[in-house]
Amino acid sequence: MLPLKRYKTNRVWNINANIVAADVVSTVVTAVVIEAIRSRLPTPVAIVTVTALIDGAISLGVFAGLHTYANRERGVRDLFRVQVHRWVLSPLHYMIGSGLQFALLAVGVGVGAGVLVAYLSAVAIVRTIHTVYGKRSGLFAELPPDDRHPPAAKN
């Protein structure tokens, strides 16, 4: 029970666990889908574009569900606040993921394996940057379990 309590009360753990879980799920599902539809994607640019769209949609949905489960008492405002950070960091995530995927395709790596390597690398890099920023900015400030307001909402 201790890991679940820590998951629900420790912001660094909670936000990173939700984002990493969402991104791992979306990356694996996207790799399978891209592998399955490879014959319908005529160019590396088409592969990279479709990969980013599928990955982004799945990641958004999975993250929203996990964050809502773990932070129900903090409300939709907290979900939106964390999602804004993700949206700001998304260009970096997709530049790394798409750029690395494109490079891997150019050297002959398979489409599914390329998705996995590229996007999981992007997750590791962006999670590190976001965690450092979140700790410095107060995004990851600890909240008592009964507090219903995120740190930015307090006066």
Q: Does residue 152 fall inside a structural domain?
A: no
Which residues, including other chains, have CB under 8 Å from residue 33's CB and lie 6 or more apart? Answer: 54
Sort 43 into a burial class: Cβ within 10 Å, 0-12 / 13-18 / 19+: exposed
Q: Does residue 104 fall inside a structural domain?
A: yes
pLDDT per residue over 98-124, tens digit each? Answer: 999 999 999 999 999 999 999 999 999
User: How many CB atoms are located within 10 Å of the residue 88 CB?
Assistant: 11
User: How many CB atoms are located within 10 Å of the residue 6 CB?
Assistant: 12
Q: Does residue 153 fall inside a structural domain?
A: no
pLDDT per residue over 46-60, tens digit each? Answer: 999 999 999 999 999
Number of domains the chain is built from: 1
Q: Which residues form the domain of 122?
A: 10-139
User: How many CB atoms are located within 10 Å of the residue 80 CB?
Assistant: 11
Q: Does residue 47 fall inside a structural domain?
A: yes
Q: Are 96 and 126 in contact (CB under 8 A)?
A: yes
> pTM for the complete prediction?
0.79
Q: Does residue 30 fall inside a structural domain?
A: yes
Q: Does residue 3 fall inside a structural domain?
A: no
Q: Does residue 144 fall inside a structural domain?
A: no
